[in-house]
Amino acid sequence: MSDTLTETMNALGINARRAARALGVASTALKNQALQAAANELRKDSAAILQANQEDLKLAEAEGVNKARLDRIMLDEARLEGIAQALEAIIALPDPVGESLARWQVPSGLDIDRVRVPLGVIGVIYESRPNVTADAAGLCLKSGNAVILRGSSEIQNSAKLIHGCFARALESVGLDRDCVQIVPSADRAAVGMMLAGLDGSIDVIVPRGGKGLVGRVQDEARVPVFAHLDGVCHVYVHGAADLDMAKQVLVNAKMRRTGICGAAETLLVDAACADSHLAPLIDALIDADCAVRGDDAACAADARVTKAQEDDWYEEYLDAIIAVRVVPDLEAAMAHITQYGSGHTEAIVTANAEAAETFLNNVDSAIVMHNASTQFADGGEFGMGAEIGIATGRFHARGPVGLEQLTSFKYKVRGHGETRPK
Amino acid sequence: MSDTLTETMNALGINARRAARALGVASTALKNQALQAAANELRKDSAAILQANQEDLKLAEAEGVNKARLDRIMLDEARLEGIAQALEAIIALPDPVGESLARWQVPSGLDIDRVRVPLGVIGVIYESRPNVTADAAGLCLKSGNAVILRGSSEIQNSAKLIHGCFARALESVGLDRDCVQIVPSADRAAVGMMLAGLDGSIDVIVPRGGKGLVGRVQDEARVPVFAHLDGVCHVYVHGAADLDMAKQVLVNAKMRRTGICGAAETLLVDAACADSHLAPLIDALIDADCAVRGDDAACAADARVTKAQEDDWYEEYLDAIIAVRVVPDLEAAMAHITQYGSGHTEAIVTANAEAAETFLNNVDSAIVMHNASTQFADGGEFGMGAEIGIATGRFHARGPVGLEQLTSFKYKVRGHGETRPK
């Protein structure tokens, strides 16, 4: 049984590598045709996909899956149309492959051209959201990468049919259907094999899902991973912050959507403005239905604040809760972020340009902001089009992972018979 | 004993992370001062370093180390001066840190700036060459990265004194001496701990040495690795190749230096020109004292050619030996490179621009060349200044690894109080 799985998985890897070779040099027009064909197939096949999704939902309900999760699993006409439109949006994005990143001449006479190429084969491991099947396949396809998709068992039926749309679309335009493959087995051992890289056939893993999944992938993967485990994002209200701006940015950063990784989790208020700003900021949060846990100063400023524990500074609530602390100065704010932060996104609110630049330079997170809501931490808001996730690693991709981040590069060197002197 | 080593190594990691934080925002001027101070210290301390090197050589001789390796271990006045000058050359290179890679405005009003930052902490594991101590420390320092050096036991005495020069230099300019640290133990278990990432304290490992070392690092590392295991580089003489140019490029690619990773190991000759080109190319190689192993066609063309075995196509000789094969066409040449190559550097010789572009586009190696010797595969020849190695991975760094490749990036986002709409 396990031998069969090993064979199945290794075949996926070999097929993906072969498909990637041809896809890597496919024209933009051909890749866009495949994306459009996939969008069309999704619309044509919508009845069957929605029926398969009903089966997934029934099984999930029988297993007692909670409401929020059922909602993530659920597809309807509107959501399916959204998935098709997302593919059409990827068509509109520029193709990164072949772009010259830099080109220069060297004294020997050679012309050196650094050119974007696809990464190769991407493994996507995801749960709960069937739309990831199409979103990830679309982004990988456009960036010239073959993809091996492994959705969790709870969306097997939906994912299988969505994958079928891509297989037919690829064949219809003359591309290898193995450019987009799906793991046919619900066996969790398949995930382990992907994390080991399928014998050199997977170049990078992208996990999409909860902390349990991302943590396992980061711990066990023997290939690079694009991911973030936590988004403990900070808003630091500096001594020179305009109170109204601070209120607006803070409440938006915390409350616009509490469940996304760019939502603020901790408010740091500079001692220099605590007398004037702390109580109104807390009031604005509570007014917006946010529970506040604070240090002694915050508790003293508003009786509705409960005492924060050490653990609160590390917490990614993903809920209408915030931790509030008064810090002596800019240095102390940055030290707090270094100690408790997760390297995702942090914002300073200040009218002092020098303090802002110090914060932007010295805070070591993927995204650092001045006078803006942390909720802008998103590939779409960055103008990068769709994203496959946000990475907090320092390697290759950092911040939103869009089409460009799914590429590598190579050097094309053009000469006239040059030989290297001794 | 092992507990002591664990403690020692973890302390190195914690110190490196702390030092990296300050070094990452240090000014270019300060980093250059430290590099100049290190060069000065190397010159001031030369007598002691050369004496320590004599001790290393004596121990190595006693252990029966071969001549080539003894030469790699050996330092003299000239080599030490070369090491100091290499540091001065790094001073002259532009500082990548802080460079804006791209900057754009988005409709929300935000200004988005992608800026280079150091990778963080780099672990360098090397053998035989004491100069790597200074070369790696210099490149890491200039690119704002802390470094943990681990030289093999055979150069412990030399490496320790060279490291001492950096420690004094860093302190003399007011930088943390832990920006450059050396593993104080010859225990091989220290390498394993570095490969595991020292509890999150090492961001990337760079191995410098033989295949045994690189292979172990690639197999065991739990953090990213910048390396190449093999350099099985190909020269493909296309049907439309000028014979004289092909001879010059080929002989240089194979014979200028046979021991470097960019040296050609296999010659592919297109059937379309084999009648006219094969025998003269083989003759030129043998004339240059290169042994030739070939397929049937090559054996038939010259009686001095010995029969190549299947293993020869995979072989990185690093010696005056080449494998020669006649291929039916461009497609077959590229298929051979895909099957047997190592993704390092390949060259096509041809007067046909279309064939050249097809080769440059479709061959999936870090460096692909047209009408140029593969021996140009080198950071210096690419105009990148010094390099810490050549990487054949597809991730983050590919090809020569210079200062730029030792950086990551982050996003600085500047706003005016923007909040994200629902």
> Is residue B103 less than 8 Å (CB to CB) from chain A?
no
Helix (H, G, I), strand (E, B) or coil at B343: coil
Which amino acid does the sequence have at B256?
Answer: R
Which secondary structure element, helix H or strand E, spans residue A395, and what is its range?
none
Q: Does B420 fall in a domain?
A: no
Q: Does A387 fall in a domain?
A: no
Structure-block tokens of residue A300: 């003293």
Given an 8 Å threshold on Cβ–Cβ distance, is B371 in contact with A398? no
A203 with A292, same domain?
no
B27: nearest CA partner in chain A: A361
B240 with B191, same domain?
no
Q: Each residue's pLDDT tens digit in chain A (422 positions)?
A: 468 999 999 999 999 999 999 999 999 999 999 999 999 999 999 999 999 999 999 999 999 999 989 999 999 999 999 999 999 999 999 999 999 999 999 999 999 999 999 999 999 999 999 999 999 999 999 999 999 999 999 999 999 999 999 999 999 999 999 999 999 988 899 999 999 999 999 999 999 999 999 999 999 999 999 999 999 999 999 999 999 999 999 999 999 999 999 999 999 999 999 999 999 999 999 999 999 999 999 999 999 999 999 999 999 999 999 999 999 999 999 999 999 999 999 999 999 999 999 999 999 999 999 999 999 999 999 999 889 999 999 999 999 999 999 999 999 999 999 999 98
CA–CA gap between residue A404 and residue A383 (Å, rounded):
12
A135 with A270, same domain?
no
Q: Does A381 fall in a domain?
A: no
B79 with B158, same domain?
yes
A376 CB neighbours in chain B (<8 A) are 108, 110, 413, 415, 418, 420
A262 with A350, same domain?
yes
CA atoms B264, B270, B273, B275: torsion sign = positive
CA–CA gap between residue A24 and residue A118 (Å, rounded):
6
Burial readout A228-245 (b: 16 or more C-beta within 10 A, e: otherwise) = bbbbbbbbbbbbbbbeeb
Question: Do residues B72 and B127 make contact, with C-beta atoms less than 8 angstroms apart?
Answer: no
Residue B103 CA, distance from chain mean position: 30
Residue B248 has its nearest CB partner, among A242, A356, A419, at A419
B316 with B350, same domain?
yes
* Bridge pairing between strands B233-237 and A399-401: unpaired
The counts of H helices and E strands in chain B are 14, 16
Which pLDDT belongs to residue B422?
87
Across B201-212, average pLDDT: 94
Q: What are the percentages of helix, strand and coil residues in chain B, rounded to 5?
A: 45, 20, 30
> Could you report the per-residue pLDDT of B18-75, keeping only the tens digit for each?
999 999 999 999 999 999 999 999 999 999 999 999 999 999 999 999 998 999 999 9
Q: Does B418 fall in a domain?
A: no
A206 with A291, same domain?
no
Rounded to whole angstroms, what are the CA distances from A65 to A57, A59, A208, A216, B222?
A: 9, 9, 18, 21, 35
Given an 8 Å threshold on Cβ–Cβ distance, is B417 in contact with A25? no
CA–CA gap between residue B418 and residue B420 (Å, rounded):
7
Residue B372 has its nearest CB partner, among A253, A362, A415, at A415
CATH of the domain at A40: 3.40.605.10
Which residues 6+ apart lie within 8 Å of A367 measured at CB? A344, A345, A346, A374, A377, A399, B410, B411, B413
Q: Does B422 fall in a domain?
A: no
B178 with B41, same domain?
yes
A408: nearest CA partner in chain B: B394
Q: Best interface-test mutation with B: which of A220, A395, A401 has the largest number of B CBs within 10 A? A: A395
CATH of the domain at A292: 3.40.309.10
Residue A411 has its nearest CB partner, among B366, B396, B420, at B366
ipTM score assigned to the predicted complex: 0.95
**Residue closest to A419 by CA, chosen among B277, B359, B369, B385:** B369
Across B302-327, average pLDDT: 98
Q: Does A417 fall in a domain?
A: no
* Bridge pairing between strands A121-126 and A345-349: unpaired
A98 CB neighbours in chain B (<8 A) are 361
Structure-block tokens of residue A335: 């030290």
Given an 8 Å threshold on Cβ–Cβ distance, is A409 in contact with B419? no
CA–CA gap between residue B291 and residue B74 (Å, rounded):
30
Given an 8 Å threshold on Cβ–Cβ distance, is B394 in contact with A408? yes
A412 CB neighbours in chain B (<8 A) are 360, 368-370
> Is residue A362 less than 8 Å (CB to CB) from chain B?
yes
> Is residue B203 less than 8 Å (CB to CB) from chain A?
yes
Helices A330-340 and A353-362, packing angle to 10 deg = 20
CA–CA gap between residue A59 and residue A154 (Å, rounded):
7
Can you give the residue range of the structural domain that contains B284? Answer: 233-376
A259 with A119, same domain?
no
Which pLDDT belongs to residue B363?
97
B101 with B243, same domain?
no
Question: Do residues B328 and B336 make contact, with C-beta atoms less than 8 angstroms apart?
Answer: no
Residue B106 has its nearest CB partner, among A349, A382, A398, at A382
Q: Does A383 fall in a domain?
A: no
Q: Does B392 fall in a domain?
A: no
B247: nearest CA partner in chain A: A417
B249 CB neighbours in chain A (<8 A) are 417-419
CA–CA gap between residue A266 and residue A324 (Å, rounded):
6
Cβ neighbourhood burial of B303 (10 Å; 0-12, 13-18, 19+): exposed
Q: What does pTM read for this prediction?
A: 0.94
Residue A160 CA neighbour count, 13 Å, CB half = 15
Given an 8 Å threshold on Cβ–Cβ distance, is A416 in contact with B248? no
Given an 8 Å threshold on Cβ–Cβ distance, is B417 in contact with A117? no
A92 with A173, same domain?
yes
Overall domain count for chain B: 2
B52 with B190, same domain?
yes
Which secondary structure element, helix H or strand E, spans residue A350, and what is its range?
none
